[in-house]
């Protein structure tokens, strides 16, 4: 069974930083692209970032480019999202998802990031 | 960038009803389209990919159709567990984009 467990979400002030983690199990992590998708309270889904299976290619939404950085440690089966210069509009539940091409096949339960003073 | 537009934004239906949700892409995406179901407080779940292929374990009352720019998701006979919000997503090219969602509510 595929399991994706996000952690690291919390309340941070505007301009602050945070690192989210996503621990994966139940599949061969190193052979799958992984993505982050977020959902602001009461809003729809927004794709944030994707990283290739080996980590050599990364992709970002324009809204987060230059502030959020995706990475992975295939030896630890873990995906990360480093979030810098956070803004109130970054407030959302952040989901990690296992991908196949651009399809998002399996999702974690999400972790809430709140950016507020 | 490809934009995805869903309609309606919400639909009220009764148990046993046939429900159809529409999704339009701003340019040709062939059949590179997915449908997701999301229940309140839960993560989205992949229902259909490649416009019409059911993900393993998804009930056969769900079906998807379309190609090019116009797509639809149909629930043939609405069940209690189907009340949720549904999203389409284009998987044709970067950046992947979701539609705004369609909430299926109880009439």
* B8-54 pLDDT per residue, tens: 999 999 999 999 999 999 999 999 999 999 999 999 999 999 999 99
Nearest to B24 by CA among B107, B105, B102: B102
The predicted model gives B81-88 an average pLDDT of 97
Mutate to test the interface with A, among B95, B100, B102, B103 (most CBs of A within 10 A): B95
Show residues of chain B in contact with A109, CB under 8 Å: 42-43
Nearest to B31 by CA among B41, B43, B23: B23
Q: Outline where DSSP puts E strands in A62-102.
A: 68-73, 78-83, 92-100
Mutate to test the interface with A, among B47, B49, B96 (most CBs of A within 10 A): B96
Please state, in angstroms and rounded to a whole number, the distance separating the CA atoms of residues B1 and B3.
6
| Contact between chains at A103 and B49 (C-beta distance less than 8 A) | yes
Nearest Cα of chain A lies from the Cα of B57 at a distance, in angstroms, of 13
pLDDT digits (tens, 9 = 90+) for A51-107: 999 999 999 999 999 999 999 999 999 999 999 999 999 999 999 999 877 899 999
A27 touches chain B (CB under 8 A): no
Cis omega (within 30 of 0) on the bond before B8? Answer: yes
Helix (H, G, I), strand (E, B), or coil: what is residue B98?
strand
Q: Give the rounded distance of the alpha carbon of B99 from its chain centre.
A: 9
Check whether A45 has a pLDDT greater than 80: yes
Closest in A44, A102, A105 to B96, CB measured: A102
Check whether B3 has a pLDDT greater than 90: yes
| Contact between chains at A47 and B32 (C-beta distance less than 8 A) | no
Show residues of chain A in contact with B23, CB under 8 Å: none
| Contact between chains at B44 and A44 (C-beta distance less than 8 A) | no
A47 touches chain B (CB under 8 A): yes
């Amino acid at each position: 069974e595929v399991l994706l467990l996000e952690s690291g979400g919390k309340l941070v002030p505007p301009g602050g930083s945070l690192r989210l983690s996503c621990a994966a199990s139940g599949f061969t992590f190193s052979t799958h692209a992984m993505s982050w998708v977020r959902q602001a309270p009461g809003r729809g889904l927004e794709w944030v970032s994707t990283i290739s299976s080996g980590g050599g290619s990364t992709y970002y939404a324009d809204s987060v480019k230059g502030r959020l950085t995706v990475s992975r440690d295939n030896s630890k089966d873990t995906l990360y999202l480093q979030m810098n210069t956070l803004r109130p509009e970054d407030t959302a539940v952040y989901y990690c998802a296992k991908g196949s091409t651009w399809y998002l096949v399996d999702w974690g339960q999400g972790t809430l990031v709140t950016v507020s003073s | 960038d490809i934009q995805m537009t869903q309609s309606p934004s919400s639909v009220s239906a009764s148990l046993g009803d046939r429900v159809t949700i529409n999704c339009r892409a701003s340019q040709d995406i062939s059949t590179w389209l997915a449908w997701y179901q999301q229940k309140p407080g839960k993560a989205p779940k992949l229902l259909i990919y490649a416009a019409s292929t059911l993900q393993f374990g998804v009930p056969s009352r769900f079906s998807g159709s379309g190609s090019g720019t116009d797509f639809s998701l149909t629930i043939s006979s609405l069940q209690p567990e189907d009340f949720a919000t549904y999203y389409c997503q284009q998987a044709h090219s970067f950046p992947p984009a979701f539609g705004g969602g369609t909430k299926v509510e109880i009439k």
